[in-house]
Amino acid sequence: MVAAVRVHKTGGPEVLTYEDIPVPAPGPGQVKIKNHACGVNFIDTYFRMGMYPSPVGMPFVSGNEGAGEVIAVGPGVTEIKVGDRVGYVSALGAYAAERLLPADRAVKLPDSISYEQAAAMMLKGMTAQYLLRRTYKVQKGDNILIHAAAGGVGLRCGDGGLSGFDVDCSNPETSARLLQAFRDVLGPQIPIRWGREPRFLIPYFLVDAPVQGRTFSFPDGEKLQLMGGQ
C-alpha cells in the first residue's frame, strides 16, 4: 500500500482524500515508478471539478505530471529498465508515492535534470512547444502576445528562443515581478513598459485589437477572428 491523493466525487478541494492504495505489478508495456516529485498544474483542478471527465472513471488519483525512479518493468518493455530516472506527463495518477505508467510515456532524465525540475517543467514545456512550433511556427521578427506571461507556460514560452518582450500590464508591481522572471530566464536585455490605460495589444500573431484586459472576455468566435483562425 502506498500513499495517494484520490477523488471519489467531483467538487472543490474538499473532495481530495489522502489514503493508502495498492499498486500492482506492472502489466505488459507498463513500468512501475516510485515518484520523487509531482507537478501541480491548473488542469488538475479541471479533472477534480469534473470539467474534464476522468478517463479512468471514479475514483481516480489526481495529478498529471511527475518524475521518479523505475522500480519494476512489465513484459515487453525494452527501452526502460529498473533504476532509470524518468519524467512523464500522463492523464491522472501522479499524486501517489508509486504508480503504473505506460512505458512509452516515460522520458529518461539526464543527470543534470533533477526530479523536481522534471516534474515542474514537462507539461509546461510541451505546451509551449506546440504553441510556438506547431499551432503557429514562430519565425524571426514575429511579434507575439503571451497571455498570463508570469505563469509556468508563459515563462517557458519566453525560454523558447524569443529575444525580447514588450509587456503591457496595468499593475507596475506585477510588471516588475514579470520583468525579473524573464530576466532570470533570458538575461538582462528585455524591454518592458506598463500603463494604466485599458488598452492592450491583442491577440497573438501580428493582430491588434483594443480591449480591457481585466474585464473583457473573448467569445470563441471572436477569438478565432482576432487570431486569424489559429
DSSP letter string, 180-224 = HHHHHHH-S--------SS----SSSS------TTT----HHHHH
CA angle (10, 13, 19) in 5-degree steps: 85
pLDDT value of residue 175: 57
Q: What is the mean pLDDT of the chain?
A: 76
Range from 118-122, 174-178, 191-195, 208-212 that averages highest in pLDDT: 118-122
Which CATH architecture does the domain made up of 2-117 adopt?
Answer: Alpha-Beta Complex (3.90)
pLDDT tens profile 168-200: 455 556 556 655 665 565 555 444 444 444 344
Q: Would you list the domain boundaries of the chain?
A: 2-117, 136-226
Give the whole-angstrom CA distance, residue 129 versus residue 45: 23
Give the whole-angstrom CA distance, residue 148 versus residue 86: 29
pLDDT tens profile 12-41: 999 999 999 999 999 999 999 999 999 998
Residue type at 128 in one-letter notation: A
pLDDT value of residue 223: 46
Give the residue from 38, 66, 65, 43 showing the smallest Cα distance to 53: 43
What pTM was estimated for this model as a whole?
0.69
